[in-house]
């Protein structure tokens, strides 16, 4: 079931990519912060966020109000290590900030704090971003150390969540391999395999939900499923033909339009059915060629099944001279067909006048063959040969469309000896007996049996409903 495994692996990759993409989104702001550290400037969004809110400036202001503003800002900055070095001055509600700050991000924070204090009219920014390499290396080291400590602190929870996901993955895979259970529930092997893969997927999704719940990140599940859905949609467009072929395989396996060894014709391709797998229908042509037709084409094609009805009609055209009486000729041809081995008496054989033109009468001779007992092609061949011999024996003239000129020469052929003549007569008798054989030709059947011996999947089952 190549396509089952293919689509399931694609879906698994979807989930992994979605998780990685979400983790990348979570760090998008840190990447922006890195750009600010390297450039020492604020982004356009930061500048908009730094804009002072619209407010009415009070008319009364004194030194005590300025002291309150300075005191409050000093208290706030003293609690933050990155802002302790800032010097604060306040005059008539205008706050002046000067000193070194570690990054543009911290500069933005300081300005925001200053603007949020009650009574502040405006902020004069005299801050300088510290671009000291040693300080930044120390800051990076501290962040890495802090991150490592956080990871170590959360390692038991992460390990438990990962173990839970792996546990459900393994349980789902083990249950999916219990093929006997699914074959009991769904006799069709293709549907049974699909049910096993769906069961595995259900267990994996359950494990993922429980793992996210353990990590207190269950709201991410909706985002993951949304990202997986978008990725699955894009993949489905990319492999549209593959998906269409896969669905056609499911539909053909639910109701088989043919069985193994049936002689069928699909569009312009004719052959004996070898097998139907999850990708294509395999035919063996009368010439012994291997024909592979995609199931999407088979499902939409016009299919002619020559084997579904065991009784099959054969017919051929024979021309006679227009001067011959037709009724005796027709009766003789019908009698000849009725006496042939392999031709059924019911439905009865028939000989009909098909066309009359240019001194020629066309007779259409037809009869019925039981394909389970006789070869359709051999019976037809024998019927043509016997009709010709009987017509010649009764002097029924053939149409003489061309004038023939025969030039006689003295015979120079050496007559065979008595022993050689006996051998020739015996060979002719053996060949005549071989031509009279109308049994089923098993040469094509042998090719189909070899195809079955390859131990490959076959979705054609005898108990499956037929169309």
pLDDT digit string, tens, across residues 59-74 = 677 778 888 888 998 9
Predicted confidence at residue 36, as pLDDT, reads: 45
- Span 385-402, average pLDDT: 84
pLDDT(209) > 90:
no
Lowest mean pLDDT among 2-11, 321-330, 432-441: 2-11
pLDDT band for position 218 (50/70/90)? low
What digits encode the pLDDT tens for the residues 298-324?
999 999 999 888 899 999 999 998 888
User: For the chain, what is the largest distance between any 2 Cα atoms, rounded to a whole number of angstroms?
Assistant: 149
pTM over 0.95: no
pLDDT(241) > 80:
no
pLDDT(166) > 50:
yes
Listed ranges 9-13, 185-189, 458-462; the one with the highest mean pLDDT: 458-462
* 40 vs 245: CA distance, rounded Å: 57
Predicted confidence at residue 35, as pLDDT, reads: 44
Closest CA to 211 of 166, 165, 275: 165
158: phi then psi, degrees, rounded to nearest 5:
-60, -45
Please, what are the domains in the chain? 41-53+60-130 (3.30.1340.30), 256-308+442-467 (2.30.30.60), 311-399 (3.30.70.100)
Lowest mean pLDDT among 63-72, 105-114, 438-447: 438-447
* 3 vs 299: CA distance, rounded Å: 17
Predicted confidence at residue 442, as pLDDT, reads: 67
Listed ranges 17-31, 138-152, 173-187, 305-319; the one with the highest mean pLDDT: 305-319
Predicted confidence at residue 63, as pLDDT, reads: 76
274: phi then psi, degrees, rounded to nearest 5:
-95, -50
- As a three-state string, the secondary structure of 220-263 is HHHHHHHHHHHHHHHHHHHCHHHHHHHHHHHHHHHCECCCCCCE
């Amino acid at each position: 079931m190549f396509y089952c495994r293919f689509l399931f692996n694609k879906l698994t990759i979807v989930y992994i990519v979605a998780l990685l993409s979400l983790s990348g989104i979570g760090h998008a702001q840190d990447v922006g912060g890195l750009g600010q550290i390297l450039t020492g400037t604020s982004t356009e969004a930061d500048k908009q966020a730094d804009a002072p809110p619209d407010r009415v400036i009070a008319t009364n202001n004194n030194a005590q109000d300025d002291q309150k503003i300075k005191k409050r800002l000093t208290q706030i900055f003293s609690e933050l290590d990155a802002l302790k070095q800032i010097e604060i001055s306040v005059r008539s509600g205008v706050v002046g900030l000067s000193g070194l700050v570690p990054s543009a991000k911290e500069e933005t924070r300081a300005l925001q704090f200053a603007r949020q204090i009650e009574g502040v009219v405006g902020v004069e920014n005299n801050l300088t971003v510290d671009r000291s390499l040693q300080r930044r290396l120390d800051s990076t080291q501290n962040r890495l150390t802090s991150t490592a400590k956080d990871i170590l602190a959360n390692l038991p929870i992460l390990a438990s969540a990962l173990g839970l996901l792996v546990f459900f993955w393994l349980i789902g895979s083990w249950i999916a391999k219990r093929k006997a259970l699914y074959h009991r529930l769904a006799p069709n092997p293709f549907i049974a395999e699909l049910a096993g893969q769906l069961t595995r997927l259900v267990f994996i999704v359950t494990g993922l939900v429980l793992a996210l719940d353990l990590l207190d990140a269950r709201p991410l599940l909706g985002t993951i499923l949304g990202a997986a859905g978008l990725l699955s949609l894009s993949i489905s467009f990319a492999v549209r033909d593959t998906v269409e072929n896969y669905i056609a395989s499911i539909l053909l396996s639910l109701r088989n339009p043919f069985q193994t060894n049936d002689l069928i014709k699909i569009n312009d391709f004719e052959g004996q059915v070898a097998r139907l797998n999850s990708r294509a229908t395999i035919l063996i042509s009368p010439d012994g060629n291997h024909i592979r037709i995609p199931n999407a084409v088979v499902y939409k094609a016009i299919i002619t099944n020559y084997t579904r009805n065991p009784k099959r009609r054969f017919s051929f055209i024979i021309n006679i001279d227009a001067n011959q009486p037709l009724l005796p000729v027709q009766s003789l041809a019908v009698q000849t067909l009725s006496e042939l081995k392999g031709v059924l008496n019911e439905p009865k054989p028939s000989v009909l006048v098909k066309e009359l033109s240019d001194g020629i009468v066309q007779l259409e001779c037809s009869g019925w063959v039981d394909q389970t007992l006789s070869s359709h092609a051999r019976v037809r061949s024998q019927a043509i040969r016997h009709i010709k011999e009987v017509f010649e024996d009764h002097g029924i003239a053939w149409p003489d469309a061309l004038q023939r000129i025969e030039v006689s020469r003295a015979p120079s052929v050496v007559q065979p000896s008595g022993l050689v003549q006996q051998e020739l007569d015996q060979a002719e008798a053996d060949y005549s007996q071989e031509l009279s054989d109308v049994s089923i030709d098993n040469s094509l059947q042998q090719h189909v049996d070899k195809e079955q011996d390859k131990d490959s999947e076959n979705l054609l089952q005898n108990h499956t409903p037929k169309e």
